[in-house]
Copies of this chain bind each other. A is one copy, B any other.
Amino acid sequence: MRSTMMDAPLLVSRILEHGATVHGASEVVTWTGAEPRRMSYAEVGAAAAQLAHALRDDLGVTGDQRVATFQFNNNEHLVAYFAVPSMGAVLHTLNIRLFPDQVSYIANHAEDSVVIVDSALIPLLAKVLPQMSTVEHVVVVGGGDPAPLAGSVTIHHWDDLLAGKPTTYDWPELDERDAAALCYTSGTTGNPKGVAYSHRSIWLHSMEVCMPEAFGLASTDRELAIVPMFHAMSWGIPFAAFMSGASLIMPDRFLQGAPIAEMIAALQPTKAGAVPTIWNDVLGHLATGSSLREAIVGGSACPPALMDAYAERFGIQIVHAWGMTEMSPLGSVSRPPAGATGDALLAYRDSQGRFPAGVQARIIGPLGEQVPADGESVGELEVRGPWVTAHYLGEEEPDPEKFRDGWLRTGDVGTLSADGYLILTDRAKDVIKSGGEWISSVELENVLMAHPAVLEACVVGVPDERWDERPLATVVIREGSTATPDELRAFLAERMPKWQLPERWSFIQEVPKTSVGKFDKKRVRSDYAGGALEVHTLD
């Protein structure tokens, strides 16, 4: 039996129209260091129509052409967020922090036709533009000198383009499963990979972001959106703000602790979202008595001491959110269950939280079998749902390293509790597969580094004839201290199961690091394989 419901597609243009009319008096405010720049949502709606007219009539954008942004979080980036998908084109948010050859790779892979760039980012774009082979137009926002961009592209000025254009647009009726926006993940190996969000997935994800179990956005909120709009769509907050009527505060390029604390004092956000590093930077600058009640933290786990500091000194609750670009990005949020208090409450707070109905989750153990949600059985987290990607852009078949039977393999390892809470402990590639069981390298490292003589410890899996893999412990001894492999193994043995204890030990001068300062485990494994490490093997 077919339902009698209307066949109304879930389109970004409807979110735009809703925000620009019902919540037309809500506003987006961009920090400038001086007087903030304000636009009402009604004005954003008008400007989005003008931009769409300009893209279509002046730049010739048609169909599903890609329009890229190379911008900070600001009013004009918000206008582009709505104008481009609403007109049927595809918004591509370029990540300004990637290596230049990654940026041009991405622009070429997506076949971007247009790039919208903030004046302040002209020098950065100028470095990569010559390698962008499909870009024909660049739109410059603000008054900077566009000369460095000169070459084979046509340069336009945002204000000139929009001036005099009609402030309404007859948005097309699209298929809700068409692509609306593109975002590339910057994996640690290989080229970045594209994820194409649909109008439908953006709609459903926006509703989720607004739900109380997630960010709980309401029209009475003012959300400080610190997460870059070029990073996983700023966690979907711009779209969710137009859906709920929450006002937006945009930091533009002012992402240091001091100006963010100033924004909080001056513009009175009720909620905010950022990575832990930012919250750490802000802490020393924040004034008491701010309106901020809640800060969402994602990207990595927040140190409990930082959460305590915000709660105790400012009455600000820090809430963990976990997700991935591949997930639009919202997965789980660590809201405690009703009635939790004391240590249990803290444990819930420190977890990665619970999943919404739109994200189904399962834990796959070392043998490829689903393990129970009992808070103890460890495995790789897999997810699926209407705002999770099924494959990467341009892949003919889903990559089996990242997808399995219609599920996304997150590459994160941990447990799910009986009451639905996720606790992540390792990246899958850092787990040591020993005789059908998994050993957490991170756990071994943490215990080793608690030994007074150990400055750094990096544990990796190395090939073993009998057990497939066994842990190799590489250890940097603190200056002036001494310790033997036997002593360190005895120290571990008091705290870890016997079968997890490393046989192989190597004392090194320094753990090799990646460009972002993480342990370079690939390098450690290749050093071992190449015989570059002096290894002591215990019985």
Contacts and interface: CB of A to CB of B under 8 A. Distances in A.
Contacts of A386: 5-6, 8-10
Interface stretch (A72-80, A206-214, A463-471, A516-524): A206-214
A464 to B, nearest CB: 37
A434 to B, nearest CB: 31
Given A14-B360, A207-B208, A244 B5 contact: no
A178 B4 contact: no
A4 B393 contact: yes
A392 to B, nearest CB: 7
Contacts of A6: 384-386, 388-390, 406
B357 A5 contact: no
A219 interface: yes
Interface string A337-375: 110000000000000001111001000000000000100
A251 to B, nearest CB: 21
Interface string A404-432: 00100000000000111000000000000
A172 to B, nearest CB: 14
Given A207-B207, A219-B338, A373-B21, A389 B4 contact: yes
Interface string A218-250: 111000000000000000000000111101000
Contacts of A66: 1
Contacts of A204: 10, 207
Interface in A374-392: 384-392
A243 B22 CA distance: 26
A18 interface: yes
Contacts of A392: 4
A326 to B, nearest CB: 9
B23 A420 contact: yes
A273 to B, nearest CB: 16
Contact of A4 (B15, B196, B384): B196
A177 interface: yes
B207 A2 contact: no
A200 interface: yes
A22 B218 contact: no
Q: Kindly state the interface size class of chain A when it binds its partner.
A: 35 or more
A198 B3 contact: yes
A73 B355 CA distance: 28
* Main SS at interface, chain A: loop
Given A179-B1, A200-B5, A211 B210 contact: yes
A54 to B, nearest CB: 21
Contacts of A243: 356-357
A335 B388 contact: no
A409 to B, nearest CB: 13
Given A219-B213, A420-B23, A390 B1 contact: no
A158 interface: no
A45 interface: no
Interface string A1-34: 1111111111000110111011111000000000
Contacts of A207: 204, 207-208, 211
A21 B499 CA distance: 33
Contact of A24 (B194, B208, B388, B418): B418
A198 to B, nearest CB: 3
Contact of A390 (B7, B21, B335, B338): B7
Contacts of A194: 4
A22 B355 contact: yes
Contact of A5 (B3, B216, B335, B388): B388
Given A5-B200, A8-B385, 4 more contacts: A1-B178, A15-B357, A22-B354, A24-B418
Interface of A: 1-10, 14-15, 17-19, 21-25, 64, 66, 90, 177-180, 194-198, 200-201, 204, 207-208, 210-213, 216-220, 242-245, 247, 335, 337-338, 354-357, 360, 373, 384-393, 406, 418-420
